[in-house]
Amino acid sequence: MGGHFLVLLRLALRNLFATKLNIIIGAIILVGTMLVVVGGALLDSMDTSMSKSIIGSVAGHIQVYSGKSKGELALYGEMGGEPDLSAITDFSKVKAELETLPNVKTVVPMGISGALVTSGNTIDVALERMRALIRQLQRDGPSAQLQAQILSQKEYLRQILRVLQSDTKKRELIVTEKAFEAETVAALQRASSEAFWREFNRDPLNGLEFLENRIAPQASDADLIYLRYVGTDVDDFQKSFDRMKIVDGRPIPPGRRGFLFAKFFYENQLKLKAAQRLDKIKKRYVELGKKIADNPEPKQWIKENQAQTKEIILQLDQIKTAQAVERLQRALGSSETDLEALLRHLFDINDGNFNQRYQIFYEQIAPLLELYRIRVGDVLTIKAFTRTGYVESVNVPVYGTFQFKGMEDASLAGNLNLMDLISFRDLYGYLTSEKIEEIKKLKQAAGARSIDRANAEEELFGTGRTVVAEATPGLIDESQPVTSEARALRREELIRRVYSKQEMDSGVALSGAVILEDPKKLKQTIQQIQELSDKQHLDLKPVSWQTAAGIIGQFVQLAKYALYVAVFIIFIVALVIINNAMMMAAMERVHEIGTMRAIGAQRTFVLGLVLTEIVVLGLTFGAAGAVLGTGIVKLLGVVGIPAPNDWFYFFFSGPKLHPWLTAGNLIAALVIVLGISSISTLYPAFVATRVAPVRAMQTEE
């Protein structure tokens, strides 16, 4: 073969650039290889980045959940809400069993759910503060400072009422008065009257209740916020997901109830809207060098900021209003005295004054405002429907905000907030031991008995009728209503309670995140968990992070398939073109091939000749394409591909994807290209072997 191979190689190399056809085939191979290298590297990088995002944010390497579940685990939610999962009733057992496996580092309990939260609107916040002040007054007695604070707060409430009234008047101009509930108008009128506030001084709590019930709902800035949270052993979570960082506030202390907002969610849902819009203009336009004037979106935001000054005005009491007016007059060089007009002036933003106005807002106005509707340190009341359908609410203190390193702007990871497991169980409808105890006491006190359904009729209406008879109304002392203080006490008690690790672990969880020692053994470990679960009757369903991520996890997979299909189509086209071109090349060389046959070359030699040529062609241009592709990937690796939107932050595991190349990408590209070009040459090569030696005798031209 030595001699043959030498001459084949020599011919192939010599023929490489000899014809236009070869250059066309070469160009196709070059572009094809480049596409496969770049596309493959991009998708692999994205896959790895996304897996980092998913594994590093909530999923861990493997998720286990109850095999009884009707739905499939979807950590990022699915169409129409959360999947229907059965609970793992005794998580501690699962944890203990799984942690016996050598590759399992730890198992973190989890439950993901969502609830609608009415963010305290401006009045709620103001009333809450008033209530706190009054409680302080009742507890500690009057002091000059406290009374001044109460007075200021009262003025602030009246300011809000004035804004609401003027709002109502404006609306009356548009809508006929009949359309308004008379009651609403009356309530507003009453709350604005001097008489109401005199009464308020005498019995502040009663006054507050009226304001809370009748006035607060009228403020339209209250939003229903959908809060998605993962209930977990926060301590374990922080240790296991080391990409997590506290941004504001501090971590939830071990064993405490508490809530941590995802920073992204906090910024995008809870921040003052005017500030959000300014941030967005800065981030998406000014910082990227885009002009506000050229884009309808920032112009719309500016208009909204100018129209919706109420959310700012409502927050300011008299003193702060005066301060704001004074500061704005100075900063804007205006003599205008109306705050609304000044704010409109402030928000009259264009490319020239953006930075100045942004600075004025954050340095002069923002310190007077609550920038976030829920502050770190607030107690958040979350109401949710339990599994059994009744509404349960818990109070959890907000300890701070967190984010995952590299995913600061990823909306998918950034909308999942963190809550302690105990509160999660309360909301889920799972009875903690203390609740069971509480209910037992209540039942005793009320004289309730448990009656099964079969006997219910007899018990209620039968001759014995013990149920009705033994109810002792006297035990509920109506002269001692459950005061708000008592409620608050219980609330504070729960908040302060420290739960033991054992309490955290034993009980309900919806899933467990399994962190592995060696992530490469993922499939193996899933298998082991399944076997263990079968053996110990744990009834668990272990799934990889990719499966656990639901639709999101399949996204890159889908993108990969799309690329494969595209590559496939490109290569079918390439196949046809290469086939035709090689066919033409073979035809062009009939005379030469005939000559070779005549002077003693076998058919196999001719076959080798054509195939060697295409392989050399493929290797040469494929290598060039691979080099070019590598260059592009390296360049992109340095420059980075900016994420087009929040979603992609997650897939890119950061604001930019810096793709990298693996040897696998290059090898795959070369193998595909060589395979395709060889296949497309088989028929032309066969045709070439059929060239008769007598063709050498026929003269050319």
Partner 1 sequence: MQPIVSLHSVVKEYRLGNVSVPALRGVSLEVYPRDFLSIAGPSGSGKTTLLNLIGCVDTATSGVVQVEGQDTMNLSDRELTNLRLNTLGFIFQSFNLVSVLSVFQNVEFPLLLQRRLRWRERRDRVFAMLEQVGLASHADHRPNELSGGQRQRVAIARALVTDPRIVLADEPTANLDSVTGNNIIDLMKALNEKSGTTFIFSTHDAKVMSHANAVIRLADGKIVDKSSPVDAGLKQVAEVR
One residue of 381, 601, 620, 621 binding partner 1 per CB under 8 A: 601
d(CA 35, CA 142): 77
> Based on CB atoms, which residue is closest to partner 1, 280 or 591?
591
> Based on CB atoms, which residue is closest to partner 1, 192 or 595?
595
Which residues are registered as beta bridge partners of 383?
393
The span of 244-252, 440-448, 571-579, 589-597 binding partner 1 (CB under 8 A) equals: 589-597
What minimum distance in Å lies between the beta carbon of 625 and partner 1? 24
Helix axes 182-192, 194-202, angle to 10 degrees: 70
One residue of 80, 141, 473, 600 binding partner 1 per CB under 8 A: 600
> Based on CB atoms, which residue is closest to partner 1, 215 or 585?
585
One residue of 137, 598, 627, 682 binding partner 1 per CB under 8 A: 598
Write each residue from 90 to 119 as x if it is in contact with partner 1 (CB under 8 A), else as -, in one continuous string.
------------------------------
> Based on CB atoms, which residue is closest to partner 1, 7 or 559?
7
> Based on CB atoms, which residue is closest to partner 1, 236 or 613?
613
Cα–Cα nearest to 8, from 582, 614, 677 = 614
> Based on CB atoms, which residue is closest to partner 1, 140 or 701?
701
Q: Which residues in the 604-663 window bind partner 1 by CB under 8 A?
A: 605
Q: Which residues in the 145-164 window bind partner 1 by CB under 8 A?
A: none
> Based on CB atoms, which residue is closest to partner 1, 250 or 603?
603
One residue of 432, 595, 682, 686 binding partner 1 per CB under 8 A: 595
Q: Tell me: does residue 587 bind partner 1 (CB under 8 A).
A: no
First to last CA, the chain: 34
d(CA 471, CA 665): 77
Is residue 107 within a helix (H) or strand (E), and if so which, with residue range?
A: strand 104-118
d(CA 37, CA 623): 11
> Based on CB atoms, which residue is closest to partner 1, 14 or 435?
14
- Specify whether the CB–CB gap between 520 and 526 falls below 8 A: no
Report which residue type is found at 18.
A
- Specify whether the CB–CB gap between 310 and 268 falls below 8 A: no
What minimum distance in Å lies between the beta carbon of 18 and partner 1? 6
> Based on CB atoms, which residue is closest to partner 1, 153 or 612?
612
d(CA 105, CA 101): 9
> Based on CB atoms, which residue is closest to partner 1, 15 or 525?
15
One residue of 11, 115, 292, 556 binding partner 1 per CB under 8 A: 11
The span of 8-16, 79-87, 380-388, 550-558 binding partner 1 (CB under 8 A) equals: 8-16
Pairing type for strands 62-66 and 259-262 reads unpaired
Q: Tell me: does residue 327 bind partner 1 (CB under 8 A).
A: no
What minimum distance in Å lies between the beta carbon of 590 and partner 1? 12
Residue showing tokens 């004025």: 360
The span of 42-50, 476-484, 573-581, 600-608 binding partner 1 (CB under 8 A) equals: 600-608
What minimum distance in Å lies between the beta carbon of 7 and partner 1? 4
What minimum distance in Å lies between the beta carbon of 617 and partner 1? 14
What minimum distance in Å lies between the beta carbon of 578 and partner 1? 21
Pairing type for strands 62-66 and 379-385 reads unpaired
User: What is the greatest pairwise CA distance in the chain?
Assistant: 124
What minimum distance in Å lies between the beta carbon of 19 and partner 1? 10
What minimum distance in Å lies between the beta carbon of 585 and partner 1? 13
Q: Tell me: does residue 4 bind partner 1 (CB under 8 A).
A: yes
Residue 276 has which token pair? 């959000």
One residue of 173, 179, 599, 638 binding partner 1 per CB under 8 A: 599
Q: Which residues in the 663-692 window bind partner 1 by CB under 8 A?
A: 692
Is residue 11 within a helix (H) or strand (E), and if so which, with residue range?
A: helix 2-15
The span of 410-418, 448-456, 592-600, 679-687 binding partner 1 (CB under 8 A) equals: 592-600
**Cα dihedral 189, 190, 191, 195 sign:** positive
DSSP 291-309: -STT-HHHHHHHHHHHH-T
The span of 10-18, 182-190, 348-356, 466-474 binding partner 1 (CB under 8 A) equals: 10-18
Q: Tell me: does residue 602 bind partner 1 (CB under 8 A).
A: yes
The span of 6-14, 191-199, 225-233, 373-381 binding partner 1 (CB under 8 A) equals: 6-14
> Based on CB atoms, which residue is closest to partner 1, 234 or 596?
596
The span of 73-81, 419-427, 495-503, 588-596 binding partner 1 (CB under 8 A) equals: 588-596
Which residues are registered as beta bridge partners of 201?
none
- Specify whether the CB–CB gap between 101 and 523 falls below 8 A: no
What minimum distance in Å lies between the beta carbon of 8 and partner 1? 9
> Based on CB atoms, which residue is closest to partner 1, 425 or 589?
589
d(CA 238, CA 57): 10
What minimum distance in Å lies between the beta carbon of 693 and partner 1? 4
Cα–Cα nearest to 210, from 597, 218, 573, 234 = 218
DSSP 378: P
- 517-526 long-range contacts, Cβ below 8 Å, gap at least 24? 517/102, 517/103, 517/104, 517/105, 518/103, 519/55, 519/61, 521/103, 522/61, 522/62, 524/103, 525/61, 525/62, 525/101, 525/103, 525/104, 526/62
d(CA 354, CA 302): 11
Centre a 10 Å sphere on the Cβ of residue 472 and count the other Cβ atoms it contains: 10
Write each residue from 15 to 54 as x if it is in contact with partner 1 (CB under 8 A), else as -, in one continuous string.
x--x------------------------------------
Where in 537-645 does DSSP place strands (E)? 540-544, 641-642
Q: How far is CA 577 from CA 28, 39, 167, 418, 573, in A?
A: 9, 22, 72, 57, 6
One residue of 176, 463, 502, 699 binding partner 1 per CB under 8 A: 699
- Specify whether the CB–CB gap between 365 and 327 falls below 8 A: yes
One residue of 215, 349, 596, 626 binding partner 1 per CB under 8 A: 596
What minimum distance in Å lies between the beta carbon of 598 and partner 1? 5
All residues at 6 or more sequence positions from 444 whose CB lies less than 8 Å from its CB, including other chains: none
The length of the chain, given as a count of residues: 701
What minimum distance in Å lies between the beta carbon of 604 and partner 1? 9
One residue of 10, 303, 501, 520 binding partner 1 per CB under 8 A: 10
Residue 545 has which token pair? 């992070």
The alpha helices in 408-550, defined as continuous H runs, are 411-414, 421-428, 433-446, 453-461, 466-470, 484-496, 501-505, 522-536, 545-548
Residues that contact partner 1, how many (by CB under 8 A): 29
What minimum distance in Å lies between the beta carbon of 603 and partner 1? 7
Q: Tell me: does residue 7 bind partner 1 (CB under 8 A).
A: yes
d(CA 308, CA 274): 8
One residue of 592, 655, 660, 668 binding partner 1 per CB under 8 A: 592
d(CA 196, CA 313): 23
> Based on CB atoms, which residue is closest to partner 1, 252 or 582?
582
> Based on CB atoms, which residue is closest to partner 1, 479 or 699?
699
d(CA 405, CA 451): 54
What minimum distance in Å lies between the beta carbon of 677 and partner 1? 20
Residues in the site for partner 1, rule: CB under 8 A? Answer: 2-4, 6-7, 10-11, 14-15, 18, 591-592, 595-603, 605, 692-694, 696-697, 699-700
